[in-house]
Structure formats: structure tokens, C-alpha cells
Amino acid sequence: MPHEIPNPPAPGTPEWRKIVTASKIPIILGLSPFKTPAELWQEMTGLVEPDVLEGDHLAWGHLAEDSLAAFWQYKQPETWRLSTPRRDSRGYRTRERAYTDPDLPFDNMASLDVVAYRGQKRHIIECKTSNSREKWAAGVPTAESAQALSQMGISGIHNHDVVVQVGSTVPTIYPTEWDENLFTGVVDAVKSFVDTLGNDVPPEPDPALLDELVAQQSRVGEGEQDVADDPHVIELTTIQSEIATLTSREAELKARIEADYKDVAKLTIGGDRFASWQAGRFSQSRVPAEFKHLLKDPAYQTTKFDSAKLKSERPDVYAAAIGDPTLRYA
């Protein structure tokens, strides 16, 4: 059951570093334009220090939240009470509230800029400022949509608006929808990421899940229109169908080539490299179950698991954890 955290850990602290926050989830899914999943993975494993917003930028963010939340409150036909301002662990005045859901399969936290109350009802107000009109032209961008979905999922509060001020314009309020099935997919993807924090590399985001998140992005306009007779739509759907067919055929041909030339190190066309085999990589997830205890053995730990030492001292275990070779095309 989700509940509020009275004293949430401050960003940048060791405790915060290990927690999956709603703002980290778009990064984990590969949606952030500012940080890659691999960079976040390094921060959460302790290999590098996390980037933490400080100084005037942080102070301005908190100050802007007040005015944007007041604008949201002004635009509501009913009377809503905003979360009471208080000082956070760094001394900043804020209306933020933090929530966690202990039933999720990883340590989590959602920091909500403002929570509005009306009787038993609660409503999340996420406040944003931006200088990019293009970024917000079609509504809430995909990364921010994923953050909003995660805030709703972790907090259990399924009413959510994003209030954004672009430049010096009047703020715009974007309602964001709760999608339980989509959040379930996000949880699975995040769990896969968290499970690799002790391994060599983070997992790749699920393309199908990313497509769903993109599809959920808020749109401008109303209603719907049948475009089945539009020649541009017809051409596009034909191309998309051809691409799907070609992609399937490409996979079949690659599988056949890999089977036919599995004993050849390098394939060429007229002297130019066409493809070459790449050796399988070691992965902790492939270590046989009876040897999993070695992953936590201090003898193989430095700042992370020492696979080179395992290869030297236990080549049998190392060999069992090597993946199949792959054919890399030019």
C-alpha cells in the first residue's frame, strides 16, 4: 500500500542513490535526452558520483512551483487546498510530498511537487518550466509522461496534471491519464534494470513499451477522423507493411547466414568486411546457480565484481557464463 514518507532522503545521498525515483524511471527506459540508462546505472552502482541540481537552479525550481500551483488552483472550478509549505532536508521551502509503495519489487520513491486536497480527493500537480516551445508543442513530452505515470503508480494518487510555463507565456495545464497496464510494463522494465545493478551492463529498454509510452503522450486537438482514403496515409501504411515484411525477412536471412558460416571468422564482399563474429561476453546472470555464491565472494570484489580474476582462478565457472558468439555486420 503506498504511503507518504515523512523524511525522504535528499538527492545525492547514498540512500537516495540506491532508490528508484519517479524521475529516474524515464532514464531507465531510455527516454531522457539528458542521461542514458548506462550513466544512471553507473551512478546507482556507485561507480560515479550522481549529478545533483544545486544552487540557484534548484531554488528557482521550488519558487516556480508555488506560482504554477497557484495558477492551477486559480483555474479549478472547485476549491482545492494545496500541500502546506515546509523546509526540506536541504533547507529549501517546498510543498513537495514524497511517497513510496513497498509492494513494488524494488526500493522506490515519488517526489510530488504539490499535492492538492479536496475532502478525501487528492490531485498531483507537477510543475515545469521550459524555454523550448517545440518540446511542448504536442503536449506533455514522452519522458515527462513516463515520470507522471510513475508518480501516479508509486503514490497511488491517480489524478495528475502537469503545469508548464514555456518562456514568459501564460502557463498551460495538461491532464495526464492513469494507465495501470502500462505502469505494470514499466515496473517490469525497471525490475529488469535493478536486477542488473550488480552485473556488467544494464538491460536494453523494451521497444514495445517505449512505443506505448510515446503513444500515451498528450496530443493537441479534439475528436477523431477516418483517414482511410487519404493518399498519404495509404502510402505510409503500405511502406510500414513493407518494412515489417523486410524486417522479418532480414532476421531469417541473418539466421541462415550465421548457420552457414559459423566456422568462418570474417565475411567479405569484394574485399570489404561484410560481417565478423564477436566472441560471447561474460555475464553474471549466466553464472550457474551452484556457483552464484562466488558473485558475493570478497575475493572477487573490487569496486565491482572482478570477472578477470574469476577467469584466471575459476575458468570453468567463467566459461559457463560466456554467451554465444554473435555475427556483427558492417
pLDDT tens-digit series, residues 48-71: 887 766 667 667 777 888 899 999
Residue 172 belongs to some domain of the structure: yes
Mean pLDDT of 158-183: 91
pLDDT of residue 125: 97
Q: What is the pTM of this model?
A: 0.63
Specify whether 195 is located in the same domain as 51: yes
pLDDT digits (tens, 9 = 90+) for 91-115: 777 899 999 999 999 999 999 999 9
Q: What is the pLDDT of residue 218?
A: 46
For 230: left if phi > 0, alpha if psi spans -120 to 50, otherwise beta; the answer is beta
pLDDT score at 328:
64
Q: Are 154 and 105 in contact (CB under 8 A)?
A: no
Residue that is last in its domain, among 216, 234, 257: 216
Q: What is the pLDDT of residue 315?
A: 84
Residues 173 and 308 in one domain: no
308 and 171 co-located in one domain: no
Distance in angstroms (rounded) separating the CA atoms of residues 57 and 34: 16
User: Which residue range is the domain that position 324 belongs to?
Assistant: 278-329
Same domain? 190 vs 42: yes
Q: Which of 216, 235, 267 is the last residue of a domain?
A: 216
User: What pLDDT score was predicted for residue 25?
Assistant: 96
Of the candidates 47, 60, 137, the residue with the CA atom closest to the CA atom of residue 92: 60
Residues 16 and 141 in one domain: yes
Q: Look at residue 236 and tell me if it is in a domain.
A: no
Q: Domain tally for the chain?
A: 2
Query: Mean pLDDT highest for which of 45-54, 185-194, 310-319?
Result: 185-194
| pLDDT at residue 240 in the model | 84
| Contact by Cβ (8 Å): 126, 113 | yes
159 and 298: one domain? no
pLDDT digits (tens, 9 = 90+) for 3-15: 999 889 888 888 9
Do residues 209 and 290 share a domain? no
Assigned domain for 26 exists:
yes
Domain for residue 257, yes or no?
no
Rounded alpha-carbon distances, angstroms, from residue 293 to 260, 296, 299: 39, 6, 11
Q: The CATH number of the domain where 122 resides is what?
A: 3.90.320.10
Q: In this structure, is residue 248 part of a structural domain?
A: no
- 205 and 72 in a common domain: yes
Which pLDDT score is estimated for 196? 86
pLDDT digit string, tens, across residues 241-295: 898 889 889 889 998 998 999 888 889 998 888 888 877 767 676 788 888 788 7
- Domain annotation covers residue 269: no
Residues 184 and 63 in one domain: yes
Q: What is the pLDDT of residues 122-169, one digit of tens each?
A: 999 999 988 888 888 888 999 999 999 999 999 999 999 999 998 888
Domain stops at, among 165, 188, 216: 216
b/e burial code for range 94-120 (CB count within 10 A of at least 16 → b): bbbbbbbbeebeeebbbbbbbbbeeee
pLDDT in tens, 196-232: 887 766 667 666 766 766 666 544 455 568 888 888 8
Quick one: 171 and 313 in the same domain?
A: no
Does any domain span residue 260?
no
| Residue 322 DSSP symbol | B
Give me the percent of the chain exceeding a pLDDT of 90: 37
Contacts of 115 (CB under 8 A, 6+ apart): 82, 83, 95, 97, 122, 123, 124, 125, 157
Q: What is the pLDDT of residue 55?
A: 64
Of residues 92 and 184, which shows the higher confidence score?
Answer: 184
Residues 182 and 316 in one domain: no
In a domain, 187, yes or no: yes
Report the distance separating Cα 257 and Cα 277, nearest Å: 12
Q: Are residues 136 and 206 in the same domain?
A: yes
